[in-house]
Amino acid sequence: MRALRASEFSVALETIEASVDDQLVIFDPREPYPGLDEATQLQLDLTIEAAYRYRQDFPRQSDRAHVDAMVKALFQFMGSVSIENHP
């Protein structure tokens, strides 16, 4: 927020995108959180799909290669699973 208020848009954008990556890597669609109902799980999948579409339009490589690799693996896995066939 400070970066935005200071008109440091590149810094703010990098911070937001890094935060999105940090949230994405905690999801493992092969082992969904126990107790989630179908609607919540579908919303998680749709959110990951939206992040994937955003990253297609705005690719980035961070200075955290291990996080980049984890996000890439998540997107590849999600690409192999059709949301239309979601349980």
7-21: pLDDT as tens digits:
999 999 999 999 999
pLDDT surpasses 90 at 34: no
Confidence band, pLDDT 50/70/90 cuts, at residue 45: confident
**Residue 58: its pLDDT value, please?**
93
Q: What is the mean pLDDT of residues 35-60?
A: 90
- At 63 the three-state DSSP class reads coil
Answer for the pair 34, 26: CB distance below 8 angstroms, yes or no.
no
Four-point Cα dihedral 39, 41, 43, 44, nearest 10? 170
CB of 2 closer than 8 Å to CB of 9: no
Structure confidence at residue 80 as a pLDDT band (50, 70, 90): low
Cβ atoms of 18 and 62 closer than 8 Å: yes
pLDDT at 27: 83
